Structures are given as C-alpha cells and as structure tokens.
Amino acid sequence: MHQGPEVSFAKLRLLKAETLMEQISYNPTSTTFFVAKNSSLKSLPFDINY
C-alpha cells in the first residue's frame, strides 16, 4: 500500500509534460520534437527524459 509516492511521481511527470508542451507551443521550430514526445504521452506509464 505504498502507491502514494508513485502517484505523486506520476503527477510530477504529467506536470512536466504539460509544461514541456506549453514551451513547445511557443516554439514552432520544435514541431517534430513535439510529435515525438506527444506520441509517447498516449501510453502510460511513459518516460520523458529531461
């Protein structure tokens, strides 16, 4: 029953992903990077490297 930290970690990952997409939305030159990352967001758990 120690899924508390895991859930928090997942939420942190999602928050980072949302922030990443917001930054990319302001940068049209990163379209291909956005597509690559966005496709990985469709399946959970996903791994985003920063």
DSSP one-letter string for 13-34: HHHHHHHHHHHHHT-GGGHHHH
Please report the pLDDT score of residue 13 as a whole number. Answer: 78
**What is the pLDDT of the chain when averaged over all its residues?**
61
Q: Which two tokens stand for residue 21?
A: 């997409």
Per residue in 15-42, pLDDT (tens digit) is: 777 777 666 565 555 555 555 555 555 5
Please report the pLDDT score of residue 36 as a whole number. Answer: 53
Does residue 2 surpass a pLDDT of 60?
no
Q: What is the pTM of this model?
A: 0.30
